[in-house]
């Protein structure tokens, strides 16, 4: 005989409900804030990292760890872009499994993060860029304090609707390359509506690095996160 | 088999092993391995050389871990394995995984090891974890003997798209040899570190060095 459900739960047990993660990532005063940037191949993760380096590099002590499956490709891109001193970029090899290196077995990335911290005392921000992966790839909270998931209009306007932990749980979702929406016949309005529906209260930013090369909105979001850190 | 050893041998153990191919990626890049039939002798050779060296030091480290050896002994053991690892690239790969193992496990015995060397060689970290958990040298030796084969075997599936069942059959065929290697290691577990055996594979040393050079110039997906 079914028992009547009269009490309430402090957390929502409905697995389909979207809501902000009630658990704050553990903060570690005295070390750099660790920001993960993930998303599918070609969505513009490295371009966003370069933009953030340009936007924040003058005010914030920062460094970057790249995880491209072609490991030196992104590091070379960043070095070539001249946005960051070469010693502030570390590349990590992921054994053909970029999601494993940011989620299940984060030791190589932690090694790289600690290497940067040792060689650049006073770092305030370390960006860990994942290799391009699928919609299920998210960063472990053991590796990063916050994460951005980057998708783009050219990847298809159904991507936000498909969901997956990257779209639904990342601290910030960036819909990139919006200047291409018309050419690829992507409905940006549908993408944004779907994104908000999938993410509840979590923020969504649309951007085009062609129109705003320094990613001002994302940079402002990162600044806010840094300001919220305990000193 | 001690459960601590099972944990360390599990490919899901988060100690950084997934990004290491044990020279297999370089062998593939050079066309030395491109099918299950080439993989078999690569794995067998690796087990009897690098695998045996790792087993000897894992067994000795488990022996040391069980009796809660001091900082000096751990330092000596680590230095003796360094002396038996001529390739700097292999030393780096081994120390990265040793550090990863310490990161993933916490225990008082491991604090002593970390005080001796914060980035110990992988077989020593594995042996220390097993010994600290009161596992036997045989458990530690068998674990690293198995890992000497399972890591490259998994890398071969990922790099060459080999049939995972065929590759697993190759690993299974080597099980009696893994036990032989572990038994050999156990006989030396209590030996003075300086007198431990020094099996070597010059080919694997050269592949590790070549991999390291190529990873700086062209695409390499694994850390070793």
> Side by side, which strands form the sheet with A62-66?
A89-91, A62-66, A125-129, A33-38, A146-152, A172-176, A204-206
**Record: fold of B32-217:** Urease accessory protein UreF (1.10.4190)
> How many other CB atoms are there within 10 angstroms of residue A133's CB atom?
23
**Residues of B with Cβ-Cβ distance to A73 under 8 angstroms:** 219
Structure tokens at B42: 């690569």
Cβ(B126)–Cβ(B110) under 8 Å?
no
Distance from CA of A90 to the nearest CA of B (A): 12
Is there a contact between B100 and A71 if contact means CB atoms under 8 Å apart? Answer: no
pLDDT of residue A86: 85
Q: Which helix (H) or strand (E) holds A174?
A: strand A172-176
On the question of pLDDT at B138 being above 60, the answer is yes
Cβ-contact A183, A159 below 8 angstroms? no
Would you give the end-to-end CA distance of chain B in angstroms?
Answer: 28
Residues of B in contact with A139 (CB under 8 A): none
Higher pLDDT, A82 or B131: B131
Cα–Cα distance for residue pair A112/A201, rounded to 1 Å: 33
pLDDT band for position A113 (50/70/90)? very high
Q: Is A15 annotated as a binding residue?
A: no
User: Given its phi and psi angles, is residue A31 left (phi above 0), alpha (psi -120 to 50 degrees) or beta?
Assistant: beta
pLDDT of residue A16: 62
Confidence of residue A73 (pLDDT cuts 50, 70, 90): low
Establish how many alpha carbons lie within 13 A of residue B20's alpha carbon, considering only the half-sphere containing its beta carbon: 27
A96 and B221 within 8 Å at the Cβ level: the answer is: yes
Question: DSSP code of A26?
Answer: P
Q: Choose among B14, B19, B100: nearest Cβ to A93.
A: B19
C-alpha separations of A4 from A1, A7, B29, B124, B207 in Å: 9, 9, 65, 57, 67
- Check: CB of residue A226 under 8 Å from CB of residue A220: no
Q: Which residues in chain A have their CB less than 8 angstroms from residue B21's CB?
A: 95
Domain boundaries, chain A: 33-226
Predicted local distance difference test score (pLDDT) of residue A9: 61
Over pLDDT 70: what percentage of chain B? 100
Model confidence at B80: pLDDT above 70: yes
CA atoms within 13 A on the CB side of B178: 20
Reduce the DSSP state of residue A129 to 3 states and report it: strand
For chain B, the average pLDDT equals: 95
pLDDT for A83 equals 79
Per-residue pLDDT for A69 more than 70? no
- CATH number for A33-226 (one of 3.40.630.10, 3.40.50.300, 3.40.50.2000, 3.90.1150.10): it is 3.40.50.300
CA distance A113 to chain B (A): 13
- Which residue is it, tokens 């480290």? B61
Domain ranges of chain B: 32-217
- What is the per-residue pLDDT for A138? 92
Percentage, residues of chain B above pLDDT 90: 93
Does A6 belong to an annotated binding site? Answer: no
Q: For residue B135, what pLDDT is reported? A: 97
Say yes or no: B220 contacts chain A, CB-CB below 8 A: yes
Q: Distance (Å, rounded) from C-alpha A120 to C-alpha A199?
A: 36
Q: Please give the pLDDT value at position A79.
A: 76
> Does the pLDDT at position B75 exceed 90?
yes
- Here the tokens at position A141 are 């909270």
Handedness of CA B16, B19, B21, B26 (dihedral sign): negative
Verify whether the Cβ–Cβ distance B103 to A107 is below 8 Å.
yes
Q: Provide the shortest C-alpha distance from residue B151 to chain A (in Å).
A: 10
Q: Tokens 């030196």, residue?
A: A72
Name the band, by pLDDT with cuts 50, 70 and 90, for residue B215: confident
Look at residue A5 in the predicted model and tell me its pLDDT.
64
- pLDDT tens-digit map of A163-211: 889 999 999 999 999 999 999 999 999 999 999 999 999 999 999 999 9
Residue with tokens 């371009």: A47
What does the pLDDT read at residue B218?
73
Q: What is the pLDDT of residue B67?
A: 93
A44 a known binding residue? yes
CB contact under 8 A, A107 and B216: no
Instruction: Give which of B174, B70, B84, B160 is closest to B116, Cα–Cα.
Output: B70
In B78-97, the residues whose Cβ lies within 8 Å of chain A are 96
Question: Over 90: is that where the pLDDT of A82 sits?
Answer: no
Q: Which residues contact B9 (CB under 8 A, 6 or more apart)?
A: B143, B146, B147, B150
- Of A10-14, B39-43, B91-95, least confident by mean pLDDT is A10-14
Using alpha carbons, select from A90, A33, A34 the residue that is nearest to residue A67: A90
Q: In this structure, what are the phi and psi dihedrals at residue A92, rounded to the nearest 5 degrees?
A: -115, 135
CB neighbour class for A87 (10 Å; exposed up to 12, middle 13-18, buried from 19): exposed
Which chain B residues are within 8 Å of A132, Cβ to Cβ?
none
Chain B interface test: which of A105, A106, A115 (most B C-beta within 10 Å): A105
| Higher per-residue pLDDT: A136 or B177 | B177
pLDDT band at A68 (very low <50, low <70, confident <90, very high): confident
Q: For residue A7, give the 3-state DSSP assignment.
A: coil
Beta bridge partners of A63: A126
The tens digit of pLDDT for each residue in A23-40 reads: 555 556 679 999 999 999
Kindly tell me if the per-residue pLDDT of A14 is higher than 70. Answer: no
Q: Does B161 touch chain A (CB under 8 A)?
A: no
Res. B194: pLDDT tops 70: yes
Q: Which residues of A touch B12 (CB under 8 A)?
A: 104
């Amino acid at each position: 005989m079914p028992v009547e459900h009269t009490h309430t739960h402090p957390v929502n047990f409905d697995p389909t409900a979207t809501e902000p993660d009630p658990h704050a990532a553990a903060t570690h005063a005295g070390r750099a804030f660790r920001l993960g940037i993930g998303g599918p191949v070609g969505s513009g993760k490295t371009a966003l990292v370069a933009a953030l380096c340009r936007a924040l590099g003058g005010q914030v002590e920062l460094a970057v760890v790249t995880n491209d499956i072609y490991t030196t490709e992104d590091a070379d891109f960043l070095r070539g872009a001249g946005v960051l001193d070469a010693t502030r970029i570390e590349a990590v090899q992921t054994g053909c499994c970029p999601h494993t290196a940011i989620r299940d077995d984060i030791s190589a990335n932690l090694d790289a993060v600690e290497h940067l911290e040792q060689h650049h005392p006073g770092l305030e921000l370390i960006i860990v860029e994942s290799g391009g992966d699928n919609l299920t790839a998210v960063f472990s909270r053991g590796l990063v304090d916050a994460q951005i998931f980057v998708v783009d209009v050219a990847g298809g306007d159904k991507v936000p609707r498909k969901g997956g932990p990257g779209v639904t749980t990342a601290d910030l979702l960036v819909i990139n390359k919006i200047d291409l929406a018309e050419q690829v016949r992507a409905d940006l309005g549908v993408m944004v509506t779907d994104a908000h529906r999938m993410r509840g209260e979590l923020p969504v930013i649309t951007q085009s690095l062609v129109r705003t090369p320094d990613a001002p909105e994302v940079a402002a979001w990162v600044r806010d996160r840094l300001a919220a850190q305990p000193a | 088999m001690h459960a601590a050893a099972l944990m360390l041998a599990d490919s899901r153990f988060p100690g950084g092993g997934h990004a290491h191919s044990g020279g297999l990626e370089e062998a593939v890049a050079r066309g030395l391995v491109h099918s299950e039939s080439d993989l078999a002798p690569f794995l067998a050779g690796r087990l009897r050389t690098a695998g045996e060296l790792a087993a000897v030091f894992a067994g000795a480290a488990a022996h040391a871990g069980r009796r809660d050896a001091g900082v000096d002994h751990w330092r000596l053991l680590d230095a003796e394995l360094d002396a038996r690892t001529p390739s700097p690239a292999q030393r780096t790969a081994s120390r990265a995984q040793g550090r990863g193992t310490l990161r993933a496990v916490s225990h008082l015995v491991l604090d002593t090891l970390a005080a001796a060397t914060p980035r110990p060689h992988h077989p020593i970290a594995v042996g220390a974890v097993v010994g600290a958990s009161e596992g036997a040298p045989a458990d530690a030796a068998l674990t690293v003997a198995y890992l000497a084969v399972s890591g490259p075997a998994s890398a071969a599936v990922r790099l060459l798209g080999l049939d995972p069942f065929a590759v697993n059959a190759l690993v299974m065929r080597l099980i009696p040899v893994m036990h032989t290697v572990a038994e050999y290691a156990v006989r030396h577990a209590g030996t003075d570190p300086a007198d431990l055996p020094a099996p070597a594979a010059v080919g694997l040393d050269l592949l590790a060095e070549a991999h390291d050079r190529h990873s700086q110039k062209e695409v390499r997906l694994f850390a070793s």
